Structure 1
C-alpha cells in the first residue's frame, strides 16, 4: 500500500474497536503489516473445514457468518471482524464467512494478531467478547463439565435411560408390585388410555399397603398417587431438580406430546456432577431444630460459588438460591408450629404465608433480606391473630439466624399490618389500585410480587385474581408504577461511561441493583400489571408482555438478556464477597471487572435506558402523578 493509503487505513482503524484502544504508534504501524483484498458478493472469505490464518476486518461492504449447520451466527458491515475463533482455537475454520455485498477487507496475519493479544489485554478481551457474541451469548451460556457434557441443562429426555415400565389402571396392587420386582424399578406408571393416570412407588407400597394392611388384591388405583406432577421431555435437569425439591417428590414422569417416555428420579439427578442443591434442600428438611437449619443454611454461599464457577445461568442460580430459601423458611415455619403446639397454643388456624419480592419472583441472590406476609382466613377463630403473631416472631428470628436480615422497611409478618384476614388484604389492594398515593404505591409495589409458600394457597389465589382484574383499570396506579419504573436510571453517562458513587462507603462503585436488576424488575411489573398478567417472575413477565403486544417483543428479549448478564455479574461479585467473609452486596468497582464485563454491562444498561424511554413515551401521564 502507498503511504497515503497506509495513513487512510490507520485513520480507519482509529475509529473501530478494538484498534482504537491501541497505543497510537502500534496502531499506525499495523497497515504496513496488512493486506487489502476485494471479495465479490457471494464469495467465501472463510469456509468450514478449510484452514484460515488471518483476522479479517471489513473496510467496506458486509459479511455474514454461519456455523457448520448453516445457522446464522452474525452479520457485520464496516469495522466488523471475522476469524478470531479460528486463530485462537486452531484450524480448520468452524464457520463460513460470506460476502453479502461487494466487500473490501483488511487481512491481518495471525502472527500479528497473537502479538497484539499478548501485549494488549484489552485487544484480546475484545475478541473474547466477540466470540461470545456480546450480551446475547453471555446471557445464554451453558454449564459444562471437564468432558464437555451438559450438566444442569441436560434434558429430561436424556435422563430417561431405561425402557419405561407401566401397567394399565385395571391391575391389582399385587400385580403392580410383581412388575416392579421383576423389572427392578422403584416406581412404575399407571396408564389410562396411554396417558399417565398415576404413579406407584416403593414408598406407596410401604405406607399405603404394608403399613396399614391393605389387601394386595385391591385395585392399584386405590394406592397410587393419582395425577402426578409431570415434566416435558425438553425440561432441563435444573428444572426437574427444582420441581422435585419444591414439591418434595422423588420421581417425575417425563412426557412428550402428552405420552410418557420415562421417569426421572432424584438418584438420576444426583449422578450429574456437582448438582448438590438437592442435598442442601434435603438436609434442611431433616433438621429438628433451628440451630440445625442455621448450619445447613451456611452452605448456600458455597453452592452459589460452585454454580457461578460452572457458568450456570443467573436465572438458574437465582432459582436455586430461591429454592434453598424456600426450604429454609418452610422448615422454620414447621418447627415454629410444632413449638407452639408443645406450648399449648393449639393447631394453626387456616392461613397462607406468602413470600414477597425477589423470593416470590424466584430471583433471590445472596445477601437478600426478609420479605413476607400472612393472609388469615376470614373464618379463622377469634384469637387467630395472636397465634400468627407468635408464629411470625419465631420465623423472623430463625431467618435472621440463617443469614436473612430483617427488612429495613419492616415488610415482614411480624408487623401487624402485614398479617391480615383476607378481607383486610382485599381492602388494601383495592385502595392501592383505585385510590393510589405515590408514596403508598412505592411502598406497596413489593406486594405485587408475591407467592404462596405455606398454608392455604386458595387465599393467595383470590388476591392474585383480584389484582389481575383490578390493575388494568387503575389508570393513576399504573402511572405511579411507570414513574417508578423510569426513575431508577441505569448508571450510564452521556458517553456511555459508568456513573459511580462519588463519596461515602461505596465511593467509586457501580450499583448493579438499583439501575440494573431493579430497573428491569420495575419495567416488567409495570407492563405485567397493565396487561393483567398473573406471573411475577421478571423473565416470564417480559416475554408475556411481548407476546401480548404491551411491549415490543425484541425489547422484551433484549431486557431478558440484560437481566441475565447483569445478574450474572452481580452473583459472581457476591460469591467472591461471601468467599472472603464479607456480606454480599450489589456494588462493584469497574476496575474489578474484565473488559468484556464492562463492555457488556454498558450494552445491558443501554438496553434498560431505551426501554425506560419507550415506556415513558408511551405513558406520558406518569409525569403528572
Structure 2
C-alpha cells in the first residue's frame, strides 16, 4: 500500500532539483524549469511488493524512482525490465492513453516522485529533447512487446533452436573415388540415410570441403532403378554442390531452405566449407512447426491442379496452429510464403507438363509481399514473366498460355487475381529482358506519380522458376539506376509519407467511416504497408539488394540511411502490427470467415490498443524523418 508523505512543498526543493539534474532527461532542462518541476512533484513511499501502476488501471503521473527499485511486467506477466534510482515510468499512459498495459511493482521499499500529467505535457511541448527521450523509452517498450509475442508459456523464444543442436552426430563422409557399393556399405554400417562426399584421399581421415551428397533415395533411383554399375565411383551418382547451411544457422532457417527446395537432407558446413553435420526432415519433426514440411511434400506429389489446391486449403489451419503456438509474425509469414512458393512452382511445372517444354529461356518472378517473404492469409496474385530477347515464332503464345494456366490454378488454390492486373497474363508484364530494363529505366528517369504508384510493387521482386540469371540481370540493372533517381525517390517518399498511420490528433484510432469495413482499423495501409514503403525508399536510395523489409531496414541502417535505433524500432513495430493481424486472421479462420487486414477496436485488448498506438507513432516519426531526406516539394 502506498503512503503519501506530503507534496513538493514539504520536501527540500533544492535536494529534489539536484537529484533531477543528475538523471536523464531532466539534466538537460534549464534551471528555472528544474525548480518548477521539483515544486510540482509529490513524494510517495511504496512498500516492497506494492504496485505503482497496474495493468488495466489508469495512471495520470510521470513517476521517477528517487530511491529503491521497481520491476515492469507486461499484461501476461512477462518481465520487461527493472529499474532503480532515476528510472522513469508512466509515459505509456500519459502519451499512449489509459488504461495501463504494464504493471510496475516495488521490489524494494521505494520512494518515488510523482509529476501530474499536465506538467509533463507542458515540459514535452517546450523541450523537444525531453519529449524525444520518452519517445525512445516507449519504443523500447514496443520492442519488448514485440518480443513477448514470440515466446512460449515458458518464456523461451520459439524456433530459436540451433541447427547444430539437431544434428548432434558427426557427419559420415567418403571421398569421390569410393565405389557406389562401398558407399552403400558405409551407410548401412553407420545406420545413416545420407553420405557426404568430400575432397581428399580415401585414406585421409580429415574431412575436406564438401563436394556432394548421396542419399538412400539416390541409391534406389539413380543406381538400382537406372542399372548403374555399383563399382562406379560414388561421384557419378551424387548430388553435386548440394544446398548447405552454416553451422550457426537456426533450425528455422534450415527448415525454410528444406521447405522451399523440397529436400530431406541438408549438410551444415563450417567457414571453410567442411561438413560438420547433416539435418534431416526426421530431425525437424521434433519441432512442431515442421508441419510445413509435410505440406510442401504433399504439394510436390500432386499430379493435377485440383490436388495442389486441396493441399493449399490446409494453409489457413497451419497459420492458426502457428499463431496458437506463439510463433513470431516474421516466422509465420516466411513459412506461409515458402508453402505458397511450393504451390506456385508446382502449378508452373504442371503447366509446362501440359503445354510442353518452354520454347525459350524464361524467369517467373513473384512480386510484393511474396517476394519479400511476408505473405499472410488472403493475399492476391502478383507475378510477371521475364523472357529472353530472342523468342522463336509462337513463343509468346506459349507463355501467354502458361500464364493463363498458372493464374487459373492459383485461383483454384485460393489466391485471387490481382485487382490491378499485375500478373503474367497481362502482356505488359510478360516481356523480354531488354524491354524490362527499358521499363525500369523509364520509371526511374521519367517518373510521374501515377507511374511510380503502379510500378512500386515491381521493386519488390524475386525469381521463383526458370532461368534465375534473367532476374539477376534485371535486379542488377535496377540497383544501378535507383540511387541516382532523385525525382523517382522523391515520388516514392511522397507515397510512403501519404500512407498515414490510423492515428488521430489525440492519438485515438482513425476508423473507416464507410464501406464493407466501416468502424474498423486498417492494419495494412498505414501500418505494415507504410513500414514496407519506408524500407523500400531507404534501400533503393542506397542501391541495396535485399527486398525483405527487415533486411532492408538493417541494410539501410548499416549504409547510414537511417539510425540503427530507427531501424530497430520499425522492425519491432512491424512485428507487433503483423502479429495482431495474424491473430485476427486466425480468429477469422476459426469463424469460417475470409481473412483480411481490418480489425474492430473491440477485438483488441487494452495492451494491444496501447501498443498499436505506440507502433503507429513510431511509423509516423519515421515518415517525418523521411521528409527531411527527400525534397517532396519537387513532385506533384
Mapping of 1:422-461 within 5 angstroms? 422-461=433-472
Residue 481 of structure 2 corresponds to: 470
Match of 1:196 among 210, 225, 228: 210
User: How far 1:418 sits from its partner (Å)?
Assistant: 0.8
| Aligned counterparts of 1:374 and 1:73: Cα–Cα separation in 2 | 50
How far has the Cα of 1:132 moved from its partner? 13
- Give the counterpart of 2:547 among 523, 536, 539: 536
Q: How does 1:46-65 map to 2 (within 5 A)?
A: 53-55=49-51, 59-61=64-66
Q: Determine which of 256, 277, 295 is the counterpart of 1:262.
A: 277
Matched, 1:516 2:527: yes
> 2:328 aligns to what?
313
Unaligned runs of 5+ in 2: 12-41, 54-62, 73-78, 91-104, 115-136, 200-206
Correspondence list, 1:106-185, <5 A: 134-141=141-148, 152-185=159-192
Answer with 583-592 or 494-503: which moved more: 494-503
Deviations 1:227-274 (A, max 9, x none): 221112332222211101111211111234444321100111123235
Match of 2:606 among 583, 595, 599: 595
Secondary structure, counterpart of 2:470 in structure 1: helix
Q: Is the 8 A contact 2:139 2:618 kept in 1?
A: no
Q: Once the 2 structures are TM-superposed, how far is the Cα of residue 281 of structure 1 from its aligned partner?
A: 1.2
Match of 1:338 in 2: 353
- Match for residue 15 of structure 2? none
Is 1:404 paired with 2:419? Answer: no
- 1:585 — aligned with what? 596
Matched, 1:186 2:193: yes
**Cα deviations by residue, 1:194-243 (Å, 9 ceiling, x for unpaired):** 33222221122223333333333333333222222111233222221110
Q: What CA distance in whole angstroms lies between the structure 2 residues aligned with 1:74 and 1:420?
A: 58
Structure 1 residues 245 and 311, CA gap change in structure 2 (3 angstroms): same
Equivalent pairs counted in the alignment come to 545
Counterpart in 2 of 1:485? 496
Per-residue deviation at 1:392? 0.9
**Residue 351 (1) aligns with residue 330 (2):** no
Compute the displacement of 1:147 (Å): 7.6
Secondary structure in 1 aligned to 2:174? strand
Counterpart residue number, 2:297 = 282
Q: Is 2:80–2:141's contact at 8 Å kept on the other side of the alignment?
A: no
CA RMSD, 1 decimal: 3.2
After superposition, the C-alpha distances for 1:126-170 in whole angstroms (9 at most, x for unaligned) are xxxx99973212323476667877653322011013233222344
Query: 2: CA distance between counterparts of 1:522 and 1:380?
Result: 36
- Give 2:118's aligned residue: none
Q: Which portions of structure 1, spanning 4 or more consecutive aligned residues, are displaced by more than 6 angstroms? A: 6-9, 62-67, 95-99, 130-133, 144-150
* Aligned residue in 2 for 1:273: 288
Tell me, in whole angstroms, the C-alpha distance in 1 between the residues paired with 2:10 and 2:407. 68
Q: 1:143 to 1:485 in 2, by over 3 A?
A: closer
Residue by residue over 1:70-126, the C-alpha shift from the partner in whole angstroms, topping out at 9 and shown as x without a partner, is x99455746538xxxxxxxxxxxxx99799xxx73489xxxxxxxxxxxxxxxxxxx
2:616 is the counterpart of 1:605: yes
**CA 133–427 in structure 1, closer or farther in 2 if over 3 Å, else same:** closer
SS across alignment from 2:628 = helix
**Correspondences of 1:223-262 after superposition (within 5 Å):** 223-258=237-272, 259-262=274-277
Alignment counterpart, residue 548 of structure 1, candidates 553, 559, 581: 559
In 2, Cα distance between equivalents of 1:56 and 1:204: 66
Q: Structure 1 residues 78 and 466, CA, compared in 2 at 3 Å: closer, same or farther?
A: same
Answer whether contact 1:65 1:72 (CA < 8 A) is retained.
no
Classify 1:546/1:143 alpha carbon distance in 2 versus 1 (closer, same or farther; 3 Å).
Answer: closer
Note if contact 1:294-1:402 (Cα within 8 Å) is conserved in structure 2.
Answer: yes
Sort the Cα spacing of 1:449 and 1:493 in 2 relative to 1 into closer, same or farther, 3 A: same
Shift of 1:622: 4.9
Distance 2:379 2:187 in 1: 45
Could you tell me which of 488, 491, 497 is aligned with 2:508?
A: 497
Give structure 1 stretches of 5+ with no counterpart.
10-30, 38-51, 82-94, 108-129
The structural deviation recorded for 1:7 is 12
Distance 1:401 1:375 in 2: 24
Change over 3 Å in CA distance of 1:60–1:148 after alignment to 2: closer
- The aligned counterpart of 1:209 is 223
Aligned-residue offset at 1:454 = 0.8
Alpha carbons of structure 1 residues 405 and 603: separation in structure 2 relative to 1, 3 Å: same
User: What displacement does 1:507 show?
Assistant: 1.9
* 1:387 alignment partner, one of 388, 395, 398: 398
Matched residue, 1:570: 581
CA contact (8 A) 2:177 2:233 kept: yes
Query: For 2:284, what is the secondary structure of its paired residue?
Result: helix
**C-alpha distance after superposition, 1:446-477 (max 9, x if no partner):** 01111111111111111000001111111111
Indicate the residue corresponding to 2:25 in structure 1. Answer: none
Asked if the contact 1:337–1:348 (Cα under 8 Å) also holds between the matched residues in 2, the reply is no
Distance across 1 between alignment mates of 2:158 and 2:565:
29
- In the alignment, what sits opposite 1:293? 308
Find the counterpart in structure 1 of residue 89 from structure 2.
Answer: 80
- Shift of the 604–337 alpha-carbon distance from structure 1 to 2, 3 Å rule, reads same
TM-score, normalization by structure 2: 0.79
Q: CA deviation at 1:53?
A: 3.3
